[in-house]
Amino acid sequence: MATDSDLPMQALAYALERGGLPPVQGMTLLLRARPGAALQVLDGQTLQCQQSFRPAFEALDRLRLQTVERVEELSGGAARVIALPPRQKEESRALLASMLALAAPGGQLVCSVANDEGARSVEKDLTQLVGLGGSVTKHHCRVFWSAPLSGQHDEALAQRWRALDAPRPILGGRYRSRPGVFAWDRVDAASALLAQALPPSLAGDAADLGAGWGYLADQLRQRCAGISSIDLFEAEGRALAMARENLAVDARVKLGFHWHDVTRGLPGRYDVIVSNPPFHGLGRGERPDIGRRFIDVAADALRPHGQFWMVANRHLPYEDMLSQRFSQVQAKAEGGGFKVIAASGPRA
């Protein structure tokens, strides 16, 4: 994972070194952690990290950092709790409340957020919850922190915020999801277009790459009676947990759920692969290279007769890569700014 351009981590490093955040005695927790400049400053301190996004989790693991997937797995009583809050409001507020619950009396909460990711808004939320002890701006980001915690927080507000990203029914109760997951409260238009285009004749062992909360995989098993198994691959653990809930046990279709970075390849071989590949990483910038890598991985994992069905934003340049890796490539549907493409005859 690239780290030099991670501005919130650079800003956090600055705040730790020169911006008013001295070292603390005791445990430091880093929530939504990822590799970056701040880890060098924190080196030597007692540090525990949390990250539910598999590529970042694996990168931290390669650095031999103690890392867990879920906030609930973290040890409490920390001298300092640092977070890189997400943009989604409910998820961000729930994270702030979790930070407060993990901090020891006299501890400190610290956030680093890019200006264009809602830094001002998150700073106001922290101020409302516990008060503001200080802030610094650097690298188009804001780093801000509480004063040492001494019971000055709003406990009723903390309890309300802690539940804001809890799983809940969506779409009339048919599925469950939670804030912060991609298209968390709806069926996104691209996935709907792909589901409608899937031919009933698809059969055999299938995989869904970037499965999210499980909509496409569920549609695949409903629409295609010949599908015998579906492996769901999803990098965001919070989304995969929802997919497990949404795809009930099925006697006809064997289901597998994999917290997995698809760009690192697949462990199995398949007759059918479907995908609405992500085109963003942890930041907001477009990453068409991720989609191209999904195409590459799908071609490697398909059996000789296999088919790959994908949907993407109409402007994203995937056709050349598809033509390189498949002998047959056909546009199947278009609408709402999206395109569905079917490819078969994978090439080595």
Residue 288 is predicted with a pLDDT of 80
Half-sphere exposure of 272 (CA within 13 A, CB side): 24
Tokens 């409260």 found at: 185
Rounded CA gap, 51 and 60, in Å? 9
Predicted confidence band at 285 (pLDDT cuts at 50, 70, 90)? Answer: low
- The pTM of this model reads 0.94
Question: pLDDT at residue 59 above 80?
Answer: yes
Ramachandran area for residue 36 (φ above 0: left; ψ -120 to 50: alpha; else beta): left
What is the distance, to the nearest Å, from the Cα of residue 342 to the centroid of all Cα atoms in its chain?
A: 26
Q: Which residues contact 141 (CB under 8 A, 6 or more apart)?
A: 7, 8, 10, 11, 112, 113, 114, 115, 119
Rounded CA gap, 182 and 95, in Å? 17
Tokens 């990822």 found at: 34
Going along 121-188, which residue ranges are E strands?
134-138, 141-145, 168-170, 175-177
Mean pLDDT of 160-166: 96
Which of 167, 266, 248 shows the shortest CA–CA distance to 208?
A: 266
Predicted confidence band at 152 (pLDDT cuts at 50, 70, 90)? Answer: confident
Residue 290 is predicted with a pLDDT of 92
Residue 2 is predicted with a pLDDT of 41
Query: Do 294 and 328 contact (CB within 8 A), yes or no?
Result: no
